[in-house]
Amino acid sequence: MSFDLKHLPRTFDDLVIADPLNAAVIQQYCTQPPSKPLLLAGPPGAGKTEAARVIAYSHFERHNIQHMHWEFNAASLGKDYEAKIMAEVNHQMFANPDRALIVINEIDEMDLRSVQPKFREFMDAKRHLIRFVATTNHKSRIMSALLSRFRLLDLDPPSSTDWVLRALSILHAEGLNPDRQDVTLMLQSFDGSARDLIDLIEETVMASKAIKQ
């Protein structure tokens, strides 16, 4: 398994969310989710997709739900979104009393005029069956009537300080033993995304193992 896949966030504690208030909302959706669908908005690197996936993982584990294809990109859903989504919903709800959960990334990619109005109606009609979690880099491209169906959470990219505990946890999992100050120094000039962080940590682990050899 590649280094990045090995260390993908699987639980809320693995996430790095810059704003504690936003983190509290995401944690709520991981544990006792409100009924309103959640929309995570913000620039690339803010952790939207990782948070959406962790919410889904938490839901599936909590209810022991079997699933097939629960994550979609709006650009590839197209106009036949209902058939694709309902196939997954029916699979999740087999012998499961709770609602299904569907993640839609880049929901703003749905056509503003031809798809978004119909998708809003679909959400309303299926709200007793489906929990939606969506992400967007461009909330301004979402029609207001659809936007209002979601609890909107605006995320900012984490700072280098925000990443310290996550980086420390991964390094310890890889058998290295830096302390918090070591990692703080390592990240003092870091200003990248989660993908960049994983690359940096992998390089650090490889360099450390090479020195030991």
In angstroms, the CA 199 to CA 194 distance is: 9
Phi, psi of 8 (to 5 degrees): -65, 140
Q: DSSP per residue over 92-127, as a string?
A: HTTT--SPEEEEEESGGGS-TTTTHHHHHHHHHHTT
Per-residue tokens: 133? 């979690």
In angstroms, the CA 33 to CA 154 distance is: 18
Please count the other Cβ atoms lying within 10 Å of the Cβ belonging to residue 168.
Answer: 20
DSSP 153: E
Helices 81-92, 116-125: axis angle to 10 degrees equals 20
Per-residue tokens: 153? 């959470």
pLDDT in tens, the chain (213 residues): 899 899 999 999 999 999 999 999 999 999 988 889 999 999 998 999 999 999 999 999 988 887 789 999 999 998 899 999 999 999 998 878 789 999 999 999 999 999 999 999 999 999 999 999 999 999 999 999 999 999 999 999 999 999 999 999 999 999 999 999 999 999 998 888 888 889 999 999 999 888 877
Per-residue tokens: 155? 């995320």
SS3 state of residue 151:
strand
